[in-house]
Amino acid sequence: MAGDATAAAATAPTGTGRRGRSTDQGRSGHGHGRRVRATYPGAAPAAGGVVCLLAVRRRRRWLALLAAVAALLIVGPPAAAHPRVTVVAGGLDNPRGLGFAPDGSLYVAEAGRGGSGPCFEGPEGPACFGASGAVTRLRHGHQKRVVTGLPSSAAPDGSSAIGPSDVAAGHDGTFVTVGLGANPALRDQVPALGDMGQLVRISRRGSTRLVADLGDFEAEANPDGGLPDSNPNSVLAGGRFQVVADAGGNSLLRVSAKGKVSVLATFPDRMVAAPPFLGLPPGTQIPMQSVPTSVVRGPDGAYYVGELTGFPFQVGAARVHRVVPGHKPKVVATGFTNIIDLAFGKDRRLYVLEIAHNGLLSGDQTGALIRVGSHGSRKLLLSTGLVMPGGLAIRGDHAYVSNCGVCAGTGTVLRVALH
């Protein structure tokens, strides 16, 4: 999910993807499209488990890592009790990113609840595939699933799904990212996952068309130079192109209307103190990944990228980066914990949504909505009642938050008065 990095805006020769599709590699000189056997380490290594720790570092599976905590803690989301909060949609399956259309309709990406299979051994046990991913539309107070049958994988109870991650609706069409959270080679081992790790376009009739296979791009170009891993998360519609934050690949990608992919930025690991429960010598430093979960365009025209951070999910370590194509990303806001989404309000201020305000390893599912002041100050707007929220959008004087983003059938969308 994001970090200090050098931009890699230059595009490279066209290559052939996993299923023979042509993609612009945008190679930064590190990856060679190598294939490695997918492994499934636990999200939190045991004390002294250095091998497991290194495996976690390489997985970059933010949703899978999240499942390690959520699997033990999942409960139904509480009713909104805050006087400024209203539930505007319910009964959602693992709701994630939100996006407003030009006509004022609000679209919600639902990661689904997996299905009857095929099943495979996931990071926290069995995971099963199913075509349960969806996109829901809220219009004039009415809720309707307008797209169904999208790919999804989840725990047997349907929680902590990976599937549709975000939706961007504009005059040029509606675009949806479909997550993967794994080495793209896993799709060869489990062919049912073949349509995951992609950016798709939704027609007015609800059918889908592939725009770009971002898993193929990660396998071939591997912009950040680590083991191949792709989890397309946030998507920003940009007219002639879309911008995607690949949380697994630690990269910000530009996708043209013809599906040509190039790299806008990569976000490298940082060295941080090892948590005591690993049993490592005092002062030991371990790598923590950026994991960029969100991208928005700011009032200044630049891209702003929020990072979840990887293991050990340090409290206060998540940052917001400002990215101008062709320039090195710049950290512009710090002190957050496990950022899941960003949005700018009509006041031109940045709003940050945290999926776990006290950290993903804290055992506390409480999220937070925070407003960033002009000099970097932070004001907590809402925390009570937010249960692992998954997405944020702002329209007028209200923020809209998808709540319980790891819950099957009990996810909601909240409307939060900002003033």
Query: Would you call the peptide bond into 78 cis, given omega within 30 degrees of 0 as the criterion?
Result: no
pLDDT interval class at 124 (50, 70, 90): low
Task: Quote the percentage of the chain above a pLDDT of 90.
Answer: 74
CA 337, chain centre distance (Å): 15
C-alpha to C-alpha distance for 251 and 247, rounded to whole angstroms:
7
59-63, 86-90, 171-175, 304-308: range with lowest mean pLDDT: 59-63
More confident position, 234 or 48: 234
> Which residue's entry shows tokens 């914990």?
337
C-alpha to C-alpha distance for 213 and 19, rounded to whole angstroms:
9
> Which residue's entry shows tokens 């996006």?
99
C-alpha to C-alpha distance for 337 and 356, rounded to whole angstroms:
7
238-247, 311-320, 332-341: range with lowest mean pLDDT: 238-247
Distances (CA, A) of 309 to 2, 91, 122, 367: 7, 29, 21, 15
Query: Would you call the peptide bond into 118 cis, given omega within 30 degrees of 0 as the criterion?
Result: yes
CB proximity list for 29: less than 8 A, separation 6 or greater:
none
Encoded amino acid at 100, one letter: F
pLDDT of 114 strictly over 90: yes
C-alpha to C-alpha distance for 84 and 64, rounded to whole angstroms:
32
**Average pLDDT of every residue of the chain:** 83
pTM: 0.83
pLDDT tens digit sequence for 192-210: 999 999 999 998 888 899 9
Please report, for the chain, the start and end positions of each structural domain, with discontinuous segments joined by +.
43-280+287-417
Q: What is the pLDDT of residue 91?
A: 98
pLDDT interval class at 39 (50, 70, 90): very low
pLDDT tens digit sequence for 264-306: 999 999 999 999 999 999 999 999 999 999 999 999 999 999 9
CATH number of the domain located at residue range(s) 43-280+287-417 in this protein: 2.130.10.10
Burial (CB < 10 A; 0-12, 13-18, 19+), residue 327, is middle
33-47, 82-96, 402-416: range with lowest mean pLDDT: 33-47
The residue-averaged pLDDT of 146-164 equals 96
Bridge-partner residues for 236, per DSSP?
Answer: 243
pLDDT of 28 strictly over 90: no
pLDDT of 315 strictly over 60: yes
pLDDT interval class at 81 (50, 70, 90): low
Q: What is the pLDDT of residue 7?
A: 26
CB proximity list for 258: less than 8 A, separation 6 or greater:
none
pLDDT of 212 strictly over 60: yes
C-alpha to C-alpha distance for 140 and 106, rounded to whole angstroms:
10
